[in-house]
Structure 1
Amino acid sequence: MVGLGHAVQSPTLVVVSNSYAQPILRTADLSEALRTVERLLGIADLVDLEVDFDVRISTAHSLSAVLAVLPDAEWWAEGGRGGSSERRDDPSVFLPVWLRRWAGAPEIVKPFLQAVGDSPATVRWDFNAWPEAPEAGLGVGGTRGAFVTLCVHARDLDLEEPAADHTVYVHVKQVEAERAPWLAAQVGLRVIGDLVTAPY
């Protein structure tokens, strides 16, 4: 079984669009969401697999728990209030804060998800390629559109819409939009929302 492990916002909120994403599952059961991610990863080319983690933290308890899992994570104060890891500030003084760790190990996923508690967060699996989708007329999907994102306690990739449930997104290239419903079908699901620009 592939280890689970993901992403959040940039301090400058500059959006660099590497892919487009479409939701395929929304559930209050985090275990169900993780099983869906596992099934998607099971059909992907996982060469160079990395996981990005992002979370918006409002409490000192969650901050301590997340930093215990991701001690080298970057962070910045919400709303342009100036505090950041780059300035070596104390994040507990600047709550709420955004925290990000790029290119982490898949084994960190479950500890991270336990640490975030009810905080809105994303985990993004970044890998080499999606498989061929012959029914959709598509060959192998390359790296710029080969991601899976799990949003926990949020409905959107930007973590702007808090929720009690969790959403799984598949990422594809815009010119290969047909791949998203094809991927959903491979794990017994269907797309449940629009294709949106991914913020990372």
Structure 2
Amino acid sequence: MSNSYAQPILRTTDLSEGLRIVERLLEIADTSELDVDFEALVSSAQYLPALVEMLPDAEWWAEGDGGSWGRVDDPAAHRLVRLRSWANPPEVVESFLKAVGDSPATVRWDFTGWPEAPEVGLGEGGSRGAFVTLCVHARDLDLEEPAADHSVFVHVKEIEAERAPWLASQVGLRVIGDLVMAPY
């Protein structure tokens, strides 16, 4: 399995604007198969219980205090917890965003493929590289750069890098940063 490459197309302090752009991108994508992946970096005990309850099968580990993995002990006992959950139904996005509070987090929509982009010489894109990620309170996909704003990234195959600016233009935007290898 290879990684996708992602490029930011929007930064905004308005979370609803970020979600609207994601919706517009999903409208042009083949979403016959659609699910979402979540990741959060939680440092507040205030948010952790709701996230653990909402995502009972999520993987989690402590960061910066010994790196406990999985469910060997109580995640609330750690200062900083990274939580990941894959293949969730899209209907839980809003609940996740409420539960995560002001913690840095990502929501990644995984779907069947991108449409044909004849203006840049590309046919339909398959599922590898067919993602949109909303970074909440973070500027990067790894959640290493906390921010007061939110970013939307489009993912593409590296050999189809020209699809990212094309996708941005389909929703009235342009790329605003470099194409980077996406995690997982």
1:42 aligns with 2:42: no
The CA RMSD measured in Å over matched residues stands at 1.2
Q: Secondary structure at the match of 2:29?
A: coil
Equivalence for 1:8: none
Query: Counterpart of 2:177?
Result: 193
CA shift digits 1:69-89 (9 cap, x unpaired): 2122111010361423242x1
Aligned residues: 184
Matched, 1:129 2:110: no
Greater shift in the superposed pair: 19-28 or 65-74: 65-74
State the TM-score, normalized to the length of structure 2.
0.96
User: Which residue identity lines up with residue 61 of structure 2 in the other structure?
Assistant: W
Q: What's 1:6 paired with?
A: none
1:81 aligns to what? Answer: 66
5+ residue gaps, structure 1: 1-15
Distance 1:82 1:196 in 2: 26
Q: Please state whether the residue corresponding to 1:128 is helix, strand or coil.
A: strand
CA deviation digits over 1:8-58, x for unaligned, max 9? xxxxxxxx7520000000000000000000000000001221100000011
Alpha carbons 1:17, 1:198 under 8 Å: kept: no
- Aligned match of 1:106 in 60, 72, 90? 90
Task: Check whether the contact 1:53–1:122 (CA below 8 A) recurs between aligned residues.
Answer: yes
Runs of 4+ in structure 1 off by over 4 angstroms are none
Q: Does 1:90 align with 2:74?
A: yes
What TM-score do you get using the length of structure 1 for normalisation? Answer: 0.89
Residue 63 of structure 1: CA displacement? 0.2
